[in-house]
Amino acid sequence: MSSDYEYDDDDYYDDEDMIDGTQDDDEISDDDMDIADDIKSAAKGKLKSYEVDYDSLSQSEVEKHIRDDTEHICGILGVDLSTAQLLLRHLKWNKERLIEAYMDNPSKVLVDAGVALTESHSQPQAAPIRTQSSSSSGSNSRRPTRSSSKLIPSRSSRSSPTSPTTSYSIPKPLKASKSIQHFLCPICFDDDPALRTLSLDCEHTYCSGCWTAYVVSKVRDEGEHCIRCMEEKCQLVAPDNFIQSILVPEPGAPVGDPTEEAENAKVWARFQELLIRYFVSCNRDLKFCPYPSCTNTVSCPSASSKLSLTSVVPIVSCGARGIGGQDEQLSQSQGRLGALQGKEHKFCFGCPIEADHRPVICAVAKMWMKKCRDDSETANWIKSNTKECTNCQSTIEKNGGCNHMTCKKCKHEFCWVCMGPWSEHGTQWYSCNRYDEKAGQEARDSQSRSRASLERYLHYYNRWANHEQSAKLSLDLYAKTEKKMEEMQITSALTWIEVQFMKKAVEELDKCRQTLKWTYAMAYYLAKGNEKELFEDNQRDLEQAVEQLSELIESPIEPENIPTLRQQVTNKTVYVAKRNEIVLEDTANGFLDGRWKWNASVDGFDDPDPSLIAF
């Protein structure tokens, strides 16, 4: 059971690169796929060009992989389980490198991993017997397992009769150093004869209270899973069963303080989570779900190399929904989240963005996010929720997701984003989404070059930010609408099923606005030319459809107009979904064909032709 899957160890990262997700290799070898083959769930439907193949693993599934790897190492190296665990963690779960290093020099690996003591280690005075026997065995004959220490007379034989706290035993590889006469804990200075004391193989002995406080502090405050002996410069690492014996009371142990035991149980769970996170971080085919209090992992070998990220946008989902148990009770002000509840845990496998940034690839999304951060000052004014009517200058507040604004005072209809008259937005020739490069060109000739560059950025940023804001406002509006629909279920003959069309429409809108948002990041960096124009045509078609649907769901709802509205909304929702599909699919195909050219240098692509570089 231990060797039915295998990591490709050659491609493991040896350095810290993998921690932040930057990966330097350029190829995915076929061997990399082995883990995915092994855990692949039942046959999936055919993937669209903008989708990646991935699987989600629960915490216990990852634990099983960890167990299998560990047992595999136990079998090969002939070491016990806790030794194998510490060795694997020390070598970042790279089994092949571990085996190689171990075959080369077992004692060095054991010492480096904190499993064994160095030969020069000076024993504390409390353990004179041990020093003798281990020095007589010599360095090469020493059996490289933790159990080697069992060859040495254990102190339990001599102290158990006098110890008042030996009513239960501790797992084998550790030692319960029983209360020696006049034991004084060197950390808390407690010398109560009833103290329970513990030590690792180094025999550095402390009271169990200090051990607990130390482990809790390391795990909870530092998020550390590698916990060394408390002695200064002692490199021994506490094995898992030692940690467990400290945090989890053993059967038959005297009952302790219930709050403390509950807290310790939490710390033990956190420790196990840290171990899983570490395993996941060591394997570039895996990524831990970034959603709060979620413990699932996603496996996506097809996005594990840097090269693959120039052609795919690996948006994955861990399989879970919602936002964690304890967040269930949402305050009134978070009503918007109500509509988001049950939303799946979508994130990007290739970069730290915790959202669906399709259709744009990670490198460009990252450039855009950085640009937005750097320019946030200048772009701040856009976030304002109010604008003036271009006709009568009265203040207009945006309160829905729709961009079709009508001035309450003068009835002037205009577009919220470009402030142009709305009458022109339905027609083919009007493009609210397209930045007029020509105007920019003229401005460039004059001395206002930097102003033109800012305006170009603001054109895209404005639309990017607007879709984000509109999506939120639509959700707010939906929360209100949903309430109204619930009331109508009571006052009219409508059934629950019949009022679901609104929910579907809002969900689709949210998805499409997400796509639209990122199309503006993409368009900002696309080199001008035919390809960009086609991209912007698709973008415009989706945007128009989205705005129409947005407007529809904001129309007043009365029981008598529901059947018509439902028909209209349902049709529009289907159409919008189709337009979204077109944008995603065409962009993804463009990446696969190498069709997209940039106006700035993008990681993994050739530098742009100088004539295409944006000012």
Partner 1 sequence: MDARLRRVNKEITDCKNDKTSNVKIDLVDESPFHLKGTFPGPEGTPYEGGTFEVDIVIPESYPFQPVKMKFITKVYHPNVSSASGAICLDILKDAWSPVLTLKSTLISLQSLLCSPEPNDPQDAEVAKHYMTSRSSFEETARYWTRIYAGGPADESKSGQDPVAIAGLEKAHVDRFEALGFPRDKVIDVLRRLNYRGKNVTQITDDTIVEKLLS
Binding site for partner 1 (CB under 8 A): 186-190, 206, 209-210, 213-214, 216-218, 221, 230-234
DSSP state string for 69-102: HHHHHHHHHT--HHHHHHHHHHTTT-HHHHHHHH
189 binds, among partner 1, Zn ion, none (CB under 5 to 8 A by kind): partner 1
Those residues whose C-beta lies under 8 Å from the C-beta of residue 257, and which sit 6 or more positions away, are none
Query: Positive or negative CA dihedral for 598, 601, 607, 610?
Result: positive
What is the nearest approach in angstroms of partner 1 to the Cβ of residue 230?
5
**83/237 Cα distance (integer angstroms):** 10
Q: Is 150 exposed, middle or buried (0-12, 13-18, 19+ CB in 10 A)?
A: middle
**144/106 Cα distance (integer angstroms):** 7
What is the nearest approach in angstroms of Zn ion to the Cβ of residue 320?
4
DSSP state string for 592-607: HHT---BSS--TTSPP
- For residue 501, the tally of other CB atoms under 10 A from its CB is 19
What is the nearest approach in angstroms of partner 1 to the Cβ of residue 188?
5
What is the nearest approach in angstroms of partner 1 to the Cβ of residue 268?
17
412 binds, among partner 1, Zn ion, none (CB under 5 to 8 A by kind): Zn ion
Cα torsion at 290, 292, 296, 299 (round to 10°)? -10
276 binds, among Zn ion, partner 1, none (CB under 5 to 8 A by kind): none
**177/194 Cα distance (integer angstroms):** 12
What is the nearest approach in angstroms of Zn ion to the Cβ of residue 565?
25
Q: Which residue(s) pair with 315 in the sheet?
A: 348
Select 31 or 112, whichever has its Cβ closest to partner 1. 112
Q: Which one-letter amino acid corresponds to residue 446?
A: S
Select 225 or 459, whichever has its Cβ closest to partner 1. 225
410 binds, among Zn ion, partner 1, none (CB under 5 to 8 A by kind): Zn ion
Select 35 or 313, whichever has its Cβ closest to Zn ion. 313
- Cβ proximity of 488 and 498 under 8 Å: no
**231/239 Cα distance (integer angstroms):** 16
30 binds, among Zn ion, partner 1, none (CB under 5 to 8 A by kind): none
- For residue 412, the tally of other CB atoms under 10 A from its CB is 17
225 binds, among partner 1, Zn ion, none (CB under 5 to 8 A by kind): none
Q: Which one-letter amino acid corresponds to residue 100?
A: E
Select 216 or 415, whichever has its Cβ closest to partner 1. 216
Query: Positive or negative CA dihedral for 91, 94, 99, 104?
Result: negative
**417/433 Cα distance (integer angstroms):** 9
Three-class SS of residue 196? coil
458 binds, among partner 1, Zn ion, none (CB under 5 to 8 A by kind): none
291 binds, among partner 1, Zn ion, none (CB under 5 to 8 A by kind): Zn ion
Return the CA Rg of the chain: 32
- State yes or no: is 402 an active-site residue: yes
**36/52 Cα distance (integer angstroms):** 13
**472/338 Cα distance (integer angstroms):** 12
Catalytic residue among 185, 362, 402, 432: 402
- Cβ proximity of 114 and 96 under 8 Å: no
For binding to Zn ion (CB under 5 A), which residues are involved? 185, 187-188, 202, 204, 207, 210, 229, 231, 234, 236, 289, 291, 294, 296, 318, 320, 345, 348, 350-351, 362, 389, 391-392, 407, 409-410, 412, 415, 417-418, 432
What is the nearest approach in angstroms of partner 1 to the Cβ of residue 124?
11
What is the nearest approach in angstroms of partner 1 to the Cβ of residue 187?
5
**Any idea which residues carry the catalytic annotation?**
402
